[in-house]
A and B are shown apart, each in its own frame.
Chain A
Amino acid sequence: MDKNAYSKLAAEREKRSPSLKDCTFAFLSGGAVCALGQLLKELFSALGAETGTAFSLVSVTLVFAAGLCTGLGFYDKAARVCGAGLFVPITGFSNAVTSPAIEARCEGAVTGVGSEIFKIAGPVIVYGNIASVLYGVIYYIYLCAAG
């Protein structure tokens, strides 16, 4: 059997992900995290925060809570079931920063925690930053052209 035929056969034999189940859990859990975010936003607004600040406080609160759940060992168990529902919200970002940090403590504060903390979440910041700077340059040119 040549390589192409074998690769094809292997791909056919791969057990499929239970998509319907995965998608249902992702939708429900992702929606629930966002609804929780909305609840927190209303709360912070009621306490007198401006809209922008309220949303920032929501992020900070969710980051805190998700990190705590990560440390207590709940987050990854829930994420095994919920998939994208727990890695797409900002709670997933928090999990991606907290989990390597916790694990790297054996390697020390600087060479372990310090250097590993952005091992997983780093690309998001790198490419988000690059994209936004590019947008800024284009926007500046647009502003100049528009006078």
Chain B
Amino acid sequence: MCFERAYIAQCASVAGKLEKQGPLGGLFDMTAEDSYFGMDSWEQAESEMSRIAVNMLLKKASLDVNDIDVLLGGDLLNQCTATGFAANSLPVPFLGLYNACATAAESLLLGAALVSAGYAGRAVAAASSHFCSSERQFRFPLEYGSQRPPFSQNTVTGAGAFLIGQSGPVRITRALIGKVTEKGIKDANNMGAAMAPAAADTLKNFFELTGTSPRDYDAVVTGDLGYEGSALLAELLGREPCGAGGNFCDCGLLIYDRERQDVHAGGSGCGCSACVMAAYFWEKLRRKEIKRMLLAGTGALLSPRTVMQKQVIPCIAHLVEAEAV
């Protein structure tokens, strides 16, 4: 997909405590002291976080809610309730999206398509995840004493929101909708390994279709494969892994310091790539520190039930190309 005129005009990000202590901690627009965000349950907390991110975006862009034509977004919770409930307080046409951790890329892609085609003047793309609500839904109660395997990923508490309009400092030039793929991985603790083939597939297809190569970009960002998944992606593409001097990097590895923080393989969750894109890469593009980048959002389309039924984990990767203007 090529877009004529779709720009990321403004971004906003909200993150949790652990993310604040991470290497990108100072870049988020807001970091929460209270993980409950003043609410009564973790589900409401995530919703509140998502709402704060969208409102902050509007404030930063000096826009009123009525200036927005459509809100696109999603999260990890059942029936997309975090974003749905956030949208309940915003009188804006709303499309709820779900592609697990690829939701941020998915919403950027769809927002750019709607704006570029002229169906919307301004679109807001949003994605969120909360460690506590995700633990509840996908793993164990928070107070339950369990050891996680060292290759598991840590869900990011964070929300990112993007204003997509017809002008701005960062242009979304092209995008590719990924295909669902799986390579036989069934272990829900090793989602990086499950998602790496989807990322490899989408990236390869994109390079083939456009005649470009990773060398044409200042950054090829995956979100979020974590440590094991990034290493596997490098092997699948025959490239050097993240952090080895190449231009490949991963949002899940950027957001935490794995040496210092107990996060095992790195971050994951819709909020991870949303926050890192909003707080880190958008700023870098805006300041022209990088010129061109690819964001490949990767999602594992599993549920606790499919895991218990020992099904393989189907995965997806959506790709967005962004350029400094």
Decide if A and B are genuine partners: yes
Q: Which residues of A contact B (CB under 8 A)?
A: 1, 3-4, 6-7, 9-10, 13-18, 22, 70-71, 73, 75-76, 78-80, 82-83, 86-87, 92, 95-96, 98-100, 102-103, 106, 119-120
Give which listed residue, B183, B185, B235, B265, contacts A15 with CB less than 8 A.
B265
* A83–B43 CA distance with the chains assembled, in angstroms: 28
| Residue of A7, A13, A86 with most partner-chain B CB within 10 A | A13
A10 near B142 (CB under 8 angstroms)?
no
For A6, what are the chain B residues with a Cβ–Cβ distance below 8 Å? 183-185, 197
Give which listed residue, A4, A9, A73, contacts B143 with CB less than 8 A.
A73
Instruction: Decide if the interface of chain B is mainly helix, strand, loop or mixed.
Output: loop
For B147, what are the chain A residues with a Cβ–Cβ distance below 8 Å? 17, 22, 79-80, 83
For A4, what are the chain B residues with a Cβ–Cβ distance below 8 Å? 184
Q: Cβ of B145 < 8 Å from any Cβ of A?
A: yes
B134 to chain A, nearest CB (A): 13
B144 near A7 (CB under 8 angstroms)?
no
* A48–B190 CA distance with the chains assembled, in angstroms: 53
Instruction: Give B277-312 as 1s and 0s: 1 = Cβ < 8 Å from A's Cβ atoms.
Output: 000000000000000000000000000000000000
B145 near A103 (CB under 8 angstroms)?
no
For B145, what are the chain A residues with a Cβ–Cβ distance below 8 Å? 70, 75-76, 78-80, 82, 86-87, 92, 95, 99
For B227, the closest partner residue in chain A by CB is: A15
Q: Cβ of B246 < 8 Å from any Cβ of A?
A: no
B228 near A3 (CB under 8 angstroms)?
no
For B150, what are the chain A residues with a Cβ–Cβ distance below 8 Å? 15-18
| Residue of B145, B150, B183, B197 with most partner-chain A CB within 10 A | B145
- Contact sample, A vs B, 18 pairs, CB 8 Å cutoff: A7-B183, A7-B185, A13-B231, A14-B190, A15-B150, A15-B265, A17-B147, A18-B150, A76-B144, A79-B147, A80-B145, A80-B147, A87-B145, A87-B146, A103-B141, A106-B41, A120-B140, A120-B144
For B227, what are the chain A residues with a Cβ–Cβ distance below 8 Å? 15
Q: Cβ of B149 < 8 Å from any Cβ of A?
A: yes
Q: Cβ of B217 < 8 Å from any Cβ of A?
A: no
Q: Cβ of B151 < 8 Å from any Cβ of A?
A: yes
**Contact A76/B146 with A4-B184, A10-B190, A99-B140 known, Cβ cut-off 8 Å:** yes
| Residue of B136, B142, B144, B151 with most partner-chain A CB within 10 A | B144
Give which listed residue, B142, B148, B232, B265, contacts A9 with CB less than 8 A.
B232
Instruction: Give B221-237 as 1s and 0s: 1 = Cβ < 8 Å from A's Cβ atoms.
Output: 00000011001100110
The 4 closest A-B pairs by CB, nearest first: A79-B145, A3-B184, A99-B143, A10-B193
For A7, what are the chain B residues with a Cβ–Cβ distance below 8 Å? 183-185
A102 near B143 (CB under 8 angstroms)?
yes
* A75–B143 CA distance with the chains assembled, in angstroms: 7
For B143, the closest partner residue in chain A by CB is: A99
B151 near A15 (CB under 8 angstroms)?
yes
B143 near A98 (CB under 8 angstroms)?
yes
For A15, what are the chain B residues with a Cβ–Cβ distance below 8 Å? 150-151, 227-228, 265
Q: Cβ of B259 < 8 Å from any Cβ of A?
A: no
